[in-house]
Amino acid sequence: MTPAAADALNRLREHITTPHALSLRPDDAARVRQAADRLGAQLASATHDLLIIALAGGSGVGKSSLINALAGATIAEAAEQRPCTLQPTLYLHQAIPASELPAELTASARLVTHNRPELRFKILIDTPDLDSFATSNRAAARTILKAAGLVLYVFSPEKYWEERAWSVIRDERRFSASLAVLNKADLATPDELEQAAIEIRHRFAELGCPSLPILRISAARHIPRDDGTIPPPAAPIDEFPSLRAHIETELRDGDIARMRRAQRLRLLDHLENTLAQLFPPDLHARLDALESLAATAIESQSLRLTADLHPTLAAADLELRPQATLRLHRHFFGPFRAWLALADLLTITLPRLARHVRGLGGGPSPDLDDLLTGSSTDALDHAFRAWSDQLRDQIYAARLPLDRWRRDTASFPIDILAADLVRELRLRHGLLDASPSRRLTLVAHSASLVGWAIPMLLAAAALASLLIRLLHGQPTGGFDLLALVLTTTALAFTLLHGLTALALTGLTPPPANVGRHAIAAVLRRHFGRVLTTYREAIEADLDAIHHALQTLRALVETPGPVPLPPADLPTTSAELPPPLTRQTAQPTFQPDPAAASPSPAPLLLDSDHPNPPPTHVPTPPAPTPTTPAPSQPPEPETSPNAPNLSPAELFRQAVLRRSPGRP
């Protein structure tokens, strides 16, 4: 396995096992880990594009005899005891370093090496019995099946219904290329063989592959004796030569690479489909709908909270609005500033002092942090809990991660919410504005200049009137002129004060709206931050999972170099010992054409499931049948409608028909 693939799988497993926003239930997490382990096993066993061929089945069906027949020597013990195969046997080429094979395959296995060039890139494994009472044996068999590229499910006429074996087949069959082998054909009558084949075909049809090839063989008849001779054939039908020819010669290195690549794509599709079932593709649309509902819930909670906090907001406005007026008046200067200070003293300072000293009017404390405590904090907490509970119900209905929402809302700081409401009220009253607006500056400067001009002009007019009186010999003390100037100045400042207040309209919000807008802004900010944190955590997990899947897909879909066959590898099956053929004598049992198996069909893969997951592996057209080599004895047709091809060639087409990239 490449470091990039290992890192992607580790990151994927980490996001599944470690609690994140997208936390899974234990059974769902186990499903994802199982799918990731299957893909990891295939990537780990792909160092040299080796094809791992696993012989799987129950005890006593002849798995060990089959691997001995394929090896041409007794390399595994064959017995009738249960369980029979306790230790896996690996039959591999001596040029394959055992250290480069997955540790799961070699940890407890017995290695048998050979130097046969036709099996240079193929490894045969005799697996533990699938129906063993020991769970460790069945677990070891499952581990081997996860790494296998081709699985030969071995049955016998007296052992093909064991449910423990079928439970493993049901879980693992669709992830590897597979076929069924009905062994011990020499120990059963044609009727018994046909009945067993029908039953096996029916069980595979229930698993979604009604046309899986079933080869009837007699493996024990192909194990050399101590003197090197082969026992004579004893079964009317023996398709072992076809199986041997396909494995040894017709399954080329390029075919192996394409099969392995197709299998990895199927396993990756299965992993993506498993994650898609747990994390729906429309998760972003569900989050958008949740945000829309959250905005509506915030508005409704702000209206309800405004009504609940109306007395507190009115008291806060009574405290903050005079402060805002005093702050505005600081921007004026000159005589008009003195006039405003006098007006503020009479209208703001003295009434405020009277309220605090004498307790008139029930005025609030000047400390707004104390003002918005007690019942106000309780109201804010109740509003947040009502909002979070409403969204929690929607999250549950939309199948979004509920545990993360509970963690995010469990420790929400209500005290910070109350402090921010105080700050928002001050801000909306203009108490936290660092620099005055252009409008305030223009009005203040204009009114202040006019305030300078009014008394100066009135004083100049009074002085001119006094001089005129003196020139006309009218002595006067000038008190009437002073009173006139002061009265006129007061009237002018009063008019200027009113015009200034009219010009500053809008710089301070109306008392009826400031509290509602402040509450709505605070709720949108804090409640929206909780929802944003929740969404960002989910999207971060999705991005990490999708990035890992994209990395794996890029590695799986990148075609690697296809190894060339060795120079001494036979190119046709004619260079091998001639395979056994069916007896030409007419058998006493004639199978029912309706129940007979048609010509070998493509092996059932994951895409043939009744509800197949989306796959990125295109299905190419079936290859054009080729005529067997003239030097090879022709095999009888398996059905009246089958083409005139050897069983080995038909089986080769069945295995490779779905391999991508095949010409």
Say if residue 495 is exposed, middle or buried (CB neighbours under 10 Å; 0-12, 13-18, 19+).
exposed
Could you tell me the pLDDT band of residue 27, with boundaries at 50, 70 and 90? confident
pLDDT-based confidence at 570, cuts 50/70/90? very low
85 pLDDT more than 70? no
How far apart, in Å, are the Cα atoms of 349 and each of 216, 346, 363, 428, 498?
108, 7, 13, 22, 20
**200 pLDDT exceeds 60?**
yes
On the question of pLDDT at 425 being above 70, the answer is: yes
Q: How far apart are CA 400 and CA 630, in angstroms?
A: 65
**Two tokens at 191?**
């009727």
Report the run of H or E that residue 52 belongs to, with start and end.
strand 51-57
Asked whether residue 210 carries a pLDDT value surpassing 90, the answer given is: no
| Contacts by 586-593, CB closer than 8 A, 24 or more apart | 587/190, 587/236, 588/190, 589/189, 589/190, 589/191, 589/194, 591/190, 591/194, 593/639, 593/640
pLDDT value, residue 368: 59
Provide the pLDDT confidence category of residue 589 given band limits of 50, 70 and 90: very low
Using pLDDT thresholds of 50, 70 and 90, give the confidence band for residue 296: very high
User: Is the pLDDT assigned to residue 588 strictly greater than 50?
Assistant: no
177 membership: H or E segment, kind and range = strand 177-182
Comparison of pLDDT for 344 and 565, the residue scoring more: 344
Looking at the predicted structure, is the pLDDT value of residue 154 above 90? yes
* Strands, sheet with 89-93, edge to edge from the N-terminal-most edge strand: 110-114, 89-93, 122-126, 51-57, 150-155, 177-182, 214-216
Asked if 144 and 63 touch (Cβ cutoff 8 Å), the reply is: no
**CA geometry: angle at 418 spanning 415 and 420, to 5°?**
110
Mean pLDDT is lowest, of 39-48, 134-143, 579-588, for 579-588
Contact call for residues 196 and 157 (beta carbons, < 8 A)? yes
pLDDT at 103: 74
Structure tokens at 458: 């009135």
Q: What local confidence, expressed as pLDDT, does residue 424 receive?
A: 83
Q: List pLDDT tens digits, range 618-641.
A: 333 334 343 333 333 333 333 444
Mean pLDDT of 353-370: 58
Burial (CB count <10 Å: 0-12, 13-18, 19+), residue 223:
buried
Band (55; pLDDT cuts 50, 70, 90):
very high
- % of the chain residues with pLDDT over 70: 75
**In the predicted model, what is the mean pLDDT of residues 204-229?**
84
Residue 358: per-residue pLDDT? 58
pTM comes to 0.57
- CA neighbor of 93 nearest in space, from 111, 119, 61, 67: 119
Report residue 412: phi and psi, to 5°: -70, 130
Q: Which residues contact 24 (CB under 8 A, 6 or more apart)?
A: 16, 32, 278
Task: Report the relative pairing of strands 214-216 and 110-114 from DSSP bridges.
Answer: unpaired
Q: What 8-state DSSP symbol labels residue 348?
A: I
For range 418-435, the mean pLDDT: 75
- Residue, of 46 and 287, whose pLDDT is higher: 287
Residue found under tokens 């009826």: 512
Mean pLDDT for the stretch of residues 83-100: 78
- Does residue 83 carry a pLDDT above 80? no
216 forms beta bridges with 182
pLDDT, residue 79, reads 55
